[in-house]
Amino acid sequence: MSHRTGSGLAAVSTALLAMSRQMEVRDVLKTIVASARELLDAEYAALGVPDDHGGFAQFVVDGVSDAQWKAIGPLPRQHGVLAAMLHKAEPERLADVREDPRFGGWPDAHPELSDFLGLPVRDGDETLGALFLANKRCARPEGGGCGFTAEDEELLGILAQHAAIALTNARLYERSRELTIAEERSRLAHELHDAVSQKLFSLRLTAQAAAALVDRDPARAKGELQQVAALAAEAADELRAAVVELRPAALDEDGLVHTLRTQIQVLDRAHSAAVVFDSPGIRALPAAQEEAVLRVAQEALHNALRHAEAARVAVTLARHGQGARLTVADDGRGFDPATVRSAGRHLGLVSMRDRAAGVGGALTVTSAPGEGTTIEMEVPGG
Ligand SMILES: Nc1ncnc2c1ncn2[C@@H]1O[C@H](COP(=O)(O)OP(=O)(O)OP(=O)(O)O)[C@@H](O)[C@H]1O
Ligand SMILES: [Mg+2]
């Protein structure tokens, strides 16, 4: 590598930096191929990432014009010398690829390759792809390459190792981005469940009440219908808030205690169960924790009123160290928390746990058939 010290080393370093800066797999591949071609002074360079079906998931070339590339036709399959590169750990350095016994010809528009250097790109035992170079440039008047040297092979080996790292990183990055999108989708599902489906449930009840009253007591039916309109407007607001991840507007305007108290008064009036609220010693909490507490209280109340057939539901928001403890206790029929499957249609309990965990808090569900249910949530404050 003697003649490469100095400016050669700088070129290698530039290539490696360019590789590590790319995040998208395809950009990483392009950078690798272009760097390899430039560093080894070859006419053509390519990198193939195999798929599981005998073809290439990706095949990136450098030194071939777009028009030429199109004329060549479909991507190569894994055969001949290309396939050999993918199945062995050793580099291949050939004076003339066309004379190799594995050579199987190429399409008409394919450029003529003579001298050839190929190397697998490996991460441990896994072959991520293979790097190919052809036609080392030189001042030979009759054309064709001058042949790659042992030094070229060594240099390409270093590039291939870094290419493996860059490729693995890029894959991890793409994977993590997919995960973020999935998380976002599940957040939205929970948000819609917590806010909107509860409002719609109340809306249905109120509409039914209006329908039952319309003949007997038109004035009260009118009142219920106004309530329907108000609930529908709230549901629409909640929907918008869920989509843009806004806090419930009432929290900013009135604070957690006031918001909870108002909502509980409404529920107390709307249901046969007595719903009561107390907030001993409570102080303001960080915004995210207030929102989480409100959402958990809403779902716990909703469950108590829908599933428990309770006579009484008591909500307490009490100071607890720097933070707060929310308790929603009903005297209803209870259930066995272990039998509730977290997957599938029941989102409420899962969503409450997620919300608590999301703000560094904890959620406890205490229930047994015939013994009522208590939901407890602690948040750290701060
Ligand atoms: N307070 C409670 N009293 C009695 N049973 C309850 C109570 N809370 C929850 N459950 C039981 O636990 C199950 C799961 O509750 P969860 O909130 O996860 O789902 P859900 O209320 O059925 O549906 P979702 O909340 O997704 O609309 C309920 O279906 C119900 O059987
Ligand atoms: Mg529920």
Specify the pLDDT at position 139: 67
Q: What pLDDT, on a 0 to 100 scale, did the predictor assign at position 118?
A: 93
**Predicted local confidence at residue 79, as pLDDT:** 78
Contact call for residues 81 and 97 (beta carbons, < 8 A): yes
Residue with tokens 């050939």: 94
Please check whether residue 279 is in contact with residue 316, taking contact to mean a CB–CB distance below 8 angstroms: yes
In short, whether 194's Cβ falls inside 6 Å of ligand 1 is no
Q: Considering only CA atoms, which residue is closest to atom 11 of ligand 1?
A: 335
Residues 6+ away with beta carbon under 8 Å from 127: 50, 86, 87, 120, 121
Q: pLDDT tens digits for the chain (382 residues)? A: 444 445 567 777 777 777 666 667 778 788 889 988 988 999 999 998 888 888 888 888 999 888 888 888 887 787 778 787 788 778 899 999 889 888 888 888 888 888 999 999 988 888 888 999 999 988 665 655 678 999 899 888 888 888 888 778 777 777 766 666 677 677 777 777 777 777 888 888 888 888 888 899 999 999 989 888 888 888 877 776 665 554 566 687 788 998 899 888 877 877 789 999 999 999 889 989 999 999 899 999 989 988 999 999 999 999 999 999 999 999 999 999 988 865 556 788 988 999 999 999 999 999 999 999 999 999 999 8
261/257 Cα distance (integer angstroms): 6
pLDDT for res 181: 64
Is 308 near ligand 1, meaning CB less than 6 Å away?
yes
Regarding the beta carbon of 359 and ligand 1, being less than 6 Å apart is answered: no
pLDDT, residue 2, reads 41
Return the ligand number nearest the Cα of 345: 1
Q: Is 193 in the pocket of ligand 1 (CB under 6 A)?
A: yes
Rounded Cα gap, residues 252 and 239, in angstroms: 17
Tell me the two tokens of residue 103: 């050579």
Quote the pLDDT of residue 62: 93
| Residue 332 CB less than 6 A away from ligand 1 | yes
Q: 144: alpha, beta or left, given left = phi > 0 and alpha = psi -120 to 50? A: left
**Minimal-distance CA residue to ligand 1 atom 13:** 340
- Residue whose CA lies nearest to ligand 1 atom number 3: 308
Q: Is 136 in the pocket of ligand 1 (CB under 6 A)?
A: no
Where do the domains of the chain lie, and which CATH numbers do they carry? 3-174 (3.30.450.40), 181-246 (1.20.5), 249-379 (3.30.565.10)
Per the CB < 8 A criterion, the answer to whether 81 and 116 are in contact is yes
- Provide the pLDDT for residue 4: 46
Nearest ligand for residue 198 CA: 1
